[in-house]
Copies of this chain bind each other. A is one copy, B any other.
Amino acid sequence: MNSARVKKFYYLMKLGREFELAAKREYMKGNIAGFLHLDIGQEAVSVGTMQAFDKGDVFTHYREHVLAIARGMEPKHIMAELFGKKTGVSKGKGGSMHLFEPKLDFYGGDAIVAGHLPIATGCAYARKIQGENAGVFAIFGDGASNAGAFFESINIASAWKLPIIFFVENNYYAIGTHISWVSPFVELYNKAKNYMPSKRINGMDVCEVYNAVMEAKEHIENGLGPYFIEAETYRYEGHSMSDAGKYRSEEEIEIFKRRDPIENLKKKALELGIVDEKYFQEADAKVEKVVNEAVEFAASSPEPEDYELFEDVFCKECENALP
């Protein structure tokens, strides 16, 4: 455990958590609408992966705020997007599920379960022939691991030895469906292990996540083909704001809360004496400030203009060519 790294992990996880708690509040107030999927409980995955996979292309699904923050997107631009504002990362047209930032090689924000996996795989193909070995990181849920798009992707990535990390966040549920009802096994790395190196890790421990992705990254960078990681994790909240998550027992939720990635990192760091209490206080204060600013920024930002409805269907050049 390296002090600087632990600090970074803590700060980003805390920022993610508070950002989402704020989003939840704003949703209740009616400032955010549509589907809002919270990552609360899963921050070790979002932060650990993005800290390790710091170059290369990232493809993700709709439960993505913390991933986007950990990738370097500005919280205020994300919050503004949730508010549907012109200053949002997708100009208010995408909302919570569709955060895109090509400048950070961060490509959404896909709300079709497993739909981003063939895209990520194709991107990995391109990177391979372009000779860019940083490769691709594709993250998805347990539910996605039953979709044809998932299977085609691991088959192709393996056949063509593509530089891509498949990372499944196994939080056991796809909305209200437990993975054990719809998959022959709950340990999902079994789906990939005939195709590529595959392992299961503790997704509630940010250091373990970080180390696993570092290892995977080395593998793909060395041209050894794809790599598969399954992280056990848990969302404390319902699937989205429209789901109370009542299908899970209080005990089950409690078990995972005891493994809380943020609290446990802090405890361990204090115990080991690598980070002092003061840092955590400062970090928390900074988080509060950043989150508050993000909400203020979002609240005070303008709505998109009416004419924007018709923009961005095509690129400008095409729009001009069209009759």
Contact = CB atoms under 8 A, between A and B. Distances in A.
Interface of A: 146-152, 155-156, 158-159, 181-185, 190-191, 193-195
B151 A155 contact: yes
Given A146-B155, A151-B151, A152-B146, A184 B195 contact: yes
A182 B194 contact: no
Contact of A148 (B151, B191, B193): B151
Contacts of A191: 155, 194
Nearest to A191: B194
Contacts of A185: 194
Given A150-B151, A159-B184, A193-B194, 9 more contacts: A146-B155, A146-B156, A147-B148, A148-B148, A148-B152, A155-B184, A155-B191, A159-B181, A191-B194
A148 B156 CA distance: 11
Contacts of A156: 146, 182
Most buried by B among A148, A152, A185, A190: A148
A225 B152 CA distance: 24
A158 B146 contact: no
A139 to B, nearest CB: 20
Nearest to A183: B159
Contacts of A149: 148
A147 B158 contact: no
Nearest to A155: B146
Contacts of A146: 152, 155-156
28 contacts: A146-B152, A146-B155, A146-B156, A147-B148, A147-B152, A148-B148, A148-B149, A148-B151, A148-B152, A150-B151, A151-B151, A151-B152, A151-B155, A155-B183, A155-B184, A155-B191, A156-B182, A158-B184, A159-B181, A159-B182, A159-B183, A159-B184, A184-B195, A185-B194, A190-B194, A191-B194, A193-B194, A194-B194
A115 to B, nearest CB: 12
Contacts of A158: 184
